[in-house]
Amino acid sequence: MVDDQEDMSCLPYREAVSARLDGEPLGMPVRELDEHLAGCPSCRAWTGAAEQVTRRARLAAAPAVPDLTAAVLGALPRELPGARQAAQARLTETALRLLLVVVGAAQAALAWPVLVSGAGAMSAPVHMAHETGAWNLGVAAAFLAVALGPRLAAGALPFLGSFTAFLLPITLADLGAGQVHADRAVAHLLLLAGVLLVAVVAWRGRRGRQPVAVPGRRVPA
């Protein structure tokens, strides 16, 4: 009879111990629970047994689950959306930059002798020949700069495009009048090729920076 009465009086404390093991509110002050456990051997033994049961339950082996790796990998697409387009875009950009390097190097090779010695400037005065060489070398530097930094294409295009637009008709007129050698006129094709490459790089850069349209949001022009 005494044990039953003792168990009934200990029940709130054992419920508090169980709540503490589960990380829940005790329902009584912590000090009161600790004082009861210190003076009640029965509750201390019950607490020890409860701690062992809780520890074993938490350390139990996880149930075996099937290996779904093959099924998950099989459900994935063979190629991520847009991966092929992105790879093609990178390949195209690399090809354009390499072509600009070639054109820039060839333009510099034609300009350097004129800049240094005036060779290839026909009968032009030496200073004018040097100016022509410096100008053409600057154009070559612009091509190489765009090849190294494609973002510069949009800024370089107005200068290079306007220069080419003025030079080509003048060259064709001089060629028809016999005032320029054919080999010198053909050399201007390098300039035309370089400007076209810069224009393509600038166009691709502008297209890549176009804002994404969001429903309900006005896209700035």
What's residue 213's pLDDT?
47
What's residue 169's pLDDT?
85
Instruction: Tell which residue, 112, 114, 171, 102, has the closest CA to residue 143.
Output: 102
Q: What is the DSSP string of 128-142?
A: HHHHHHHHHHHHHHH
Q: How far is CA 34 from CA 4, 56, 179, in A?
A: 22, 24, 110
CB of 43 closer than 8 Å to CB of 10? yes
What's residue 219's pLDDT?
47
pTM, two decimals, is 0.50
The residue extents of the domains of the chain are: 2-55, 89-208
What's residue 37's pLDDT?
87
Could you identify the residue written with the tokens 């300009």? 111
Q: How far apart are CA 1 and CA 51, in angstroms?
A: 27
pLDDT tens series, the chain, 221 aa: 445 555 678 888 888 888 888 888 888 888 888 888 888 888 888 988 888 888 877 776 667 778 888 777 777 666 666 667 888 888 999 999 999 999 999 988 888 877 776 555 555 566 666 777 788 888 899 999 999 999 999 999 998 889 888 888 888 887 778 776 766 667 788 888 999 999 999 998 887 665 544 444 454 54
CB of 214 closer than 8 Å to CB of 187? no
